[in-house]
């Protein structure tokens, strides 16, 4: 089978997606199936100068980093590079939250910095004609398996169902909360979380956004071993258009009621259930998980 040619283009980025990608466990197989015409770290047949000055045959354009026409690579505006390659490729993938929504570097001070199709959750007019070609794999960084398997889906001409932000539903229909080992503390409203412990849920006080963040972090584990919420760190909502929100380690509450509730769950439903579960004391969840 012919290798699929991929251009990995970094715009205003930290290269976090590049290095997250390098954590993909079956790299050998991947490199047999794909070839980078350019990659920030992996050697390629062409130099960046070749990429910007010529038009190299390519099947998939990957964009990492926030986009502004002011930002240049090898003296050429990234917007110009995107315009050129978007015409010849079969698909475009915005890799990570910066390329999708603007992310952290939306604030980097370049003129009109945003994602390719979205400025946070606002749909952009520029590049609208490319929407049908684009798949977004958001996340700061993207999960390597989410990226690589999306690339394989493109290679195999599989039509992926996408959400409103062009993200494959197979990965982003879940919430990060799905599969968290701290779920029971959430379900039964045991709200006395302290950092540094195996027990407790960070939703109530420490800003965990997992119940309203789309992603597979607790379904497809990170580095195949863990997730932030399992480790005891709040989900920072890094796959969403709103990333990064402010005051990330504390839960926004109105009269002690969390402002952001599990996605799709009405306030009345949530409060009713919370009121019921909170009335019960569940000893197993009140004590240490691994006790004497």
Structure tokens at 281: 């004391």
CB of 151 to another protein, least distance (A): 16
Q: Write the DSSP assignment of 240-283 as a string of letters.
A: STT-S-SSTTS--EETTEESS-STT--HHHHHHHHHHHHTS--H
CA 2 to the chain's CA centroid: 29
* Cα gap 243→60, rounded to integer Å: 26
* Cα gap 92→13, rounded to integer Å: 17
CB of 27 to another protein, least distance (A): 5
CB of 132 to another protein, least distance (A): 30
CB of 128 to another protein, least distance (A): 27
CB of 129 to another protein, least distance (A): 28
Instruction: Of 217, 267, 265, 264, give the one whose Cα is nearest residue 237.
Output: 217
Question: Would you say 88 or 276 has its CB closer to another protein?
Answer: 276
Question: Would you say 102 or 168 has its CB closer to another protein?
Answer: 102
* Cα gap 96→93, rounded to integer Å: 9
| SS3 sequence of 161-182 | CECCCCCEHHHHCCECCCCCCC
Question: Would you say 25 or 286 has its CB closer to another protein?
Answer: 25
Question: Would you say 268 or 284 has its CB closer to another protein?
Answer: 268
Question: Would you say 64 or 91 has its CB closer to another protein?
Answer: 64
């Amino acid at each position: 089978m012919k290798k699929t040619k991929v251009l990995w283009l970094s715009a205003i980025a930290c290269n976090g997606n590049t290095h997250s990608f390098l954590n993909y466990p079956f790299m050998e197989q991947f490199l047999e199936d794909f070839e980078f015409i350019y990659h920030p770290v992996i050697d390629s047949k062409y130099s960046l100068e070749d990429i910007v000055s010529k038009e190299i045959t390519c099947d998939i354009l990957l964009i990492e980093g926030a986009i502004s026409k002011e930002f240049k690579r090898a003296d050429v505006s990234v917007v110009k590079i995107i315009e050129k390659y978007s015409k010849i490729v079969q698909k475009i993938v915005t890799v990570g939250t910066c390329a999708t929504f603007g992310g952290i570097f939306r604030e980097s001070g370049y003129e009109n910095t945003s994602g390719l199709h979205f400025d946070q959750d606002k749909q952009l007019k520029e590049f609208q004609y490319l929407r049908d070609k684009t798949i977004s794999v958001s996340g700061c960084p993207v999960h390597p398996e989410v990226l690589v398997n999306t690339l394989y889906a493109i290679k195999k001409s599989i039509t992926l169902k996408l959400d409103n932000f062009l993200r494959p539903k197979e990965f982003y229909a879940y919430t990060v909360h799905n599969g968290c080992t701290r779920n029971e503390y959430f379900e039964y409203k045991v709200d006395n979380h302290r950092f540094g412990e195996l027990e407790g849920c960070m939703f109530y006080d420490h800003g965990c956004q997992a119940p309203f963040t789309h992603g597979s972090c607790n379904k497809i584990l990170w580095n195949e071993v863990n997730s932030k919420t399992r480790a005891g760190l709040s989900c920072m909502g890094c796959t969403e258009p709103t990333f990064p929100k402010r005051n990330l380690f504390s839960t926004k509450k109105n009269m002690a009621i969390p402002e952001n509730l599990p996605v799709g769950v009405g306030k009345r439903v949530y409060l009713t259930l919370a009121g019921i579960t909170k009335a019960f004391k569940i000893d197993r969840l009140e004590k240490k998980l691994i006790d004497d």
